[in-house]
Amino acid sequence: MSISPRERVLMTIAHEEPDRVPVILGTSNTTSIKIKAYRKLKDFLGHEGPDRWIYDWPELGTVIPDEWMLSKLGSDARGVFDAFPAHARERNSKRPAHSPYIDDWGSGASETGPDEWFPDVHPLAEATTIDAIENYAWPDMNDPSRVAHVRAEAKRLHEETDFAVIGTPWLLFPFERAHAMQGLDTFLMNMMAEPEFAQALLDKIASLCETLMDRFLDEAGPFMDIVKIGDDLGTQTSLMISPEMYRSMLKPLHASMIRRIKAKTGAKVFFIPTATSSTLCRILSRSAWIYSILSRPRRGRWRIFRS
């Protein structure tokens, strides 16, 4: 008996054995392909399809493969994305060539080569006080231009295709967004030297992320099968912070977001923490339905753990 791609994904989530392992490609920054590799793949396959970037953001460098490519590679899912607010898109479309890209949060990246950008614009790099957080011009997560297209696209994919529908609003969860606002090394030092400030910054970012997620799910929630979230917590061998620091400063924020998603949609939560299994599996709550965690053994190949 043949099953649809959506059924294949949902069976796997329910711990039922499908006809084959599902393939998830092109539904988020973590499940897609960077532009240079994508162009080489198109050349190899003799395909001349257009380049289209996730979030319409060329500086991120991640593509949404076109329908021909997704079908060729057997992807069982399609993604729904929010957008940067209209004013940020317009501002960046008019900026001088090769100048830094600045997003709606005020952080950004500088061009280092063709199709290569490095995140080096950190608007709160010098901040260490609560006043600096309270006085900063934070983005408006209720801007309707962020999600104006979301309902129609999610509804189309749900009703007119048989693919699993995965929603991926561009959040940069609290830890990763704090890196963007301050710089990785600066924020990590502040977590130790200025913990009250660091926690306030994480809390502020988390509240803005929750507002955007609410708006996204108000539009797309009824049509989603999976909602993908994530936070960049680890290196190739360990967490960037201690398990104790994660439990006290970040885990409550992650758990709050997952509860919020579950309250607004029946979609399953896919949490990609970008860290190694040996430490993270012991401290993550089981509140998400799906985890994707890289594990690098002492010898041999990388393994990917999903539960």
pLDDT tens-digit series, residues 165-214: 999 998 778 999 999 999 999 999 999 999 999 999 999 999 999 999 99
Structurally, how many domains does the chain consist of?
1
Q: Is residue 147 part of a domain?
A: yes
Q: Is residue 33 part of a domain?
A: no
Residue 70 token pair: 């997704």
3-class state of residue 120 by DSSP: strand
79-134 per-position pLDDT tens digit: 999 999 999 999 999 999 999 999 999 999 999 999 899 999 999 999 999 999 99
Under DSSP, the state recorded for 147 is T
Contact 264, 220 (CB under 8 A): no
Q: Is residue 300 part of a domain?
A: yes
Q: Is residue 290 part of a domain?
A: yes
Strand-by-strand arrangement of the 116-121 sheet: 101-102, 108-113, 116-121
Residue 1 token pair: 């008996």
Longest dimension (CA), the chain: 62
Helix axes 251-264, 195-220, angle to 10 degrees: 10
What is the chain's mean pLDDT, rounded?
A: 89
Measure Cα distances from 215 to 82, 190, 231 in Å: 10, 31, 20
**pLDDT surpassing 70 at residue 286:** no
Q: Is residue 34 part of a domain?
A: no
> Nearest-CA neighbor of 173 among 63, 261, 88, 283?
261
pLDDT at 172: 75
Find the domain containing 172 and state its range: 5-27+75-306
211-250 per-position pLDDT tens digit: 999 999 999 999 999 999 988 888 777 789 998 999 999 9
Q: Is residue 287 part of a domain?
A: yes
Q: Is residue 69 part of a domain?
A: no
Q: Is residue 218 part of a domain?
A: yes
3-class state of residue 85 by DSSP: coil
Q: Are strands 77-80 and 164-167 parallel, antiparallel or unpaired?
A: parallel
> Nearest-CA neighbor of 102 among 170, 181, 176, 183?
181
Q: How confident is the model at residue 292 (pLDDT cuts 50, 70, 90)?
A: low
